[in-house]
Structure 1
Amino acid sequence: MTPVSVTRGDSPVILGMPHTGTHVPDAIMAMLNPNGQALANTDWHLDQLYGGLLEGATLVRANFHRYVIDANRDPEGRSLYPGQNTTGLVPLTDFDGAPLWREEPDAAEIARRLEQWHRPYHTALSAEIDRVRELHGVAILWDCHSIRSVIPYLFDGTLPDLNIGTDNGRTCDPRVQATVNEICTASGRSTVLNGRFRGGWTTRHHGRPETGVHAIQMEMAYSAYLAAETPPWTYAPGTAAPMRAILGDCLTRLAALAPALATRA
């Protein structure tokens, strides 16, 4: 299994999917306990949700599961949200705080996974960002995520349907943030800008608007597009349809905005 799959397009928009993969090598699967082997904390069916929404969009997708190593975490292991519950570079617990491992990986094992899985994903993503920026003078990275809407271990209450993250405006031009927030808010679906999820390591690392690279994270609630937030995590086309319309509008508007953003670093 290759660590990453890339589908190249000629649009200025790149879709990143670090958490949709479900591949776990046999040796690592044997280290997980039954809770870990269920692979519950997956961004289920995002490839289907986003499929065909923007012609020419490039897709960079991690094929490995986040329990192998989390492609959206700082490779140095620094927390994205200091002082708050979260999961690490190699998660030791699930989103409910329950252990995942029979045998927790040691530092040497984590270093191996970093080289074999995490680094290839970001190398591929960086290469596509450079290619798209060369084509258009700008690259817009849309980092695709989803999660259960109720997880007391991570946040209070119920998560909005649409959670926009730009690290408080640092990872993109203000026009990118404003465009997405305007569309999502006008849709009538519950929306928050830089709330509990203000952008993971991917968005914060790659988003450099001063160099023509604009990154924005979209964290969606499972309830906005799945039949239920429990196994077997079934995709619900009828539920997903209005969300696809919103996402498609966002991506189309961002692609149209690209010429105004274009700059040569």
Structure 2
Amino acid sequence: MDCSAGDFEHFEVREPATQTIPFVFNSPHSGRVYPPAFLAESNLDSLAIRRSADHYVDELFAEATELGAPLLMAHFPRAYLDVNREPYELDPRMFDGPLPPFVNIGSMRVAGGLGTIPRIVAENMEIYRRRLPVAEGLSRIDAIYKPYHACLRKLIARTHARFGLAVLIDCHSMPGNIRVSGPESRPDFIIGDRYGTSASAELSRAAMQILDGLGFAAVRNKPYAGGFITEHYGRPVRGLHALQIEINRSLYVDEVTLEKRPEFTAIAEALAVFMRQMAEFVADFSGQSGALAAE
């Protein structure tokens, strides 16, 4: 599938020789190509600006193609553009001039500095030295955001047409200091299904049970229930399921140096098992009841 975009390769799809399972994997926040002009505009050094990235998540899920599913990966960094937002969630305080009237300036994500063009990384670390031209923000959306989502839609639609259902796994990582209430106070994984609206309950339960069987502490929806991508593409009644998976970064990366830990390979191998068992579950469940397919 031709999903190239813009002047440089902003993202890519890694395809299996033949797609054999009804899954699409997406890694929208693991990009590591920082445009020089962007770095020149930033207050942050080359390490600090990476703090909000989903480090190496594309590599952790690389086995997806061997299992028979496409993997869409961003090369642009989340600090530059966040495709897990509405197309126009923009903070007017960031821009030199008025924004178009269709822009969503009032979302909680914008208020927190994490809109489509983020204002901060990590814990309130301001990215920019000065305000951006409005045209700069809009051009990133036109050149990268829109082609990225067009590509993702094509992958999902193709999968749905071929198999009668499609399962999107939106792949992310979370800081190691995340805590939740209950027995799994420091989760290794969080599965998000927008509180049951973006994927079938059976699929979410299967994901949780598989992770538990692999020895991980997993929780569901809190504090991460899924972002724009999960919400936008998950339509279970039509056989379109979307799950967000968040991996605790401290499992596989040193959160100070952002270098891979020795455990990286083991985590990647565990995720390969997770993906394979999820595919087996969908095949078995759909074969028995057809409940995951569109009605």
Q: Smaller-chain TM-score range?
A: 0.7 to 0.9
Aligned partner letter, 1:19: H
The answer (yes or no) to whether the contact 1:28–1:68 under 8 Å persists in 2 is yes
The answer (yes or no) to whether the contact 2:193–2:204 under 8 Å persists in 1 is yes
In the alignment, which of 61, 80, 83 is matched to residue 50 of structure 1? 61
The answer (yes or no) to whether the contact 1:80–1:201 under 8 Å persists in 2 is no
Q: Provide structure 2 residue ranges, at least 5 long, that are not aligned to the other structure.
A: 1-7, 90-103
Q: Which residue of 2 aligns with 1:2?
A: 9
Distance in 2, matches of 1:31 and 1:65, equals 15
The answer (yes or no) to whether the contact 2:61–2:268 under 8 Å persists in 1 is no
Q: Provide structure 1 residue ranges, at least 5 long, that are not aligned to the other structure.
A: none
Report SS of the residue matched to 1:170.
coil
- Counting only pairs closer than 5 Å after superposition, residues 1-265 of structure 1 correspond to structure 2 as 1-9=8-16, 10=19, 11-35=21-45, 38-53=49-64, 55-77=67-89, 85=112, 87-150=114-177, 159-226=186-253, 228-236=254-262, 237=264, 239-240=266-267, 243-244=270-271, 247-256=274-283, 257-259=285-287, 260=290, 261-263=292-294
CA deviation after TM superposition for structure 1 residue 255, in Å:
4.3
The answer (yes or no) to whether the contact 1:86–1:95 under 8 Å persists in 2 is no
Distance in 2, matches of 1:18 and 1:137, equals 25
The answer (yes or no) to whether the contact 1:21–1:66 under 8 Å persists in 2 is yes
Higher RCO, Cα 8 Å, sep 6+: 1
CA deviation after TM superposition for structure 1 residue 172, in Å:
0.9
Distance in 2, matches of 1:184 and 1:245, equals 11
Q: Which residue of 1 aligns with 2:101?
A: none
1:51 to 1:135, Cα distance in 2 relative to 1, 3 A? same
The answer (yes or no) to whether the contact 2:22–2:163 under 8 Å persists in 1 is yes
Aligned partner letter, 2:70: T
CA deviation after TM superposition for structure 1 residue 24, in Å:
2.4
- RMSD, aligned α-carbons: 2.8
1:258 to 1:40, Cα distance in 2 relative to 1, 3 A? farther
Aligned partner letter, 1:102: R
Distance in 1, matches of 2:269 and 2:82, equals 30
**What percent identity do the matched residue pairs reach?**
27
CA deviation after TM superposition for structure 1 residue 167, in Å:
0.5
1:177 to 1:80, Cα distance in 2 relative to 1, 3 A? farther
Larger Rg: 2
CA deviation after TM superposition for structure 1 residue 238, in Å:
5.1
Distance in 2, matches of 1:176 and 1:18, equals 22
TM-score normalized with structure 1 length: 0.87
CA deviation after TM superposition for structure 1 residue 242, in Å:
6.4
Aligned partner letter, 1:29: L
Distance in 2, matches of 1:231 and 1:80, equals 32
1:52 to 1:245, Cα distance in 2 relative to 1, 3 A? closer
The answer (yes or no) to whether the contact 2:62–2:71 under 8 Å persists in 1 is no
Aligned partner letter, 1:221: N
Aligned partner letter, 1:61: M
**How many pairs align?**
261
Q: Which residue of 1 aligns with 2:99?
A: none
Distance in 2, matches of 1:85 and 1:196, equals 16
TM-score normalized with structure 2 length: 0.78
Distance in 2, matches of 1:32 and 1:39, equals 12
Residue deviations 1:139-161 (CA, integer Å, cap 9, x gap): 10000001221269xx9997511
Aligned partner letter, 1:27: A
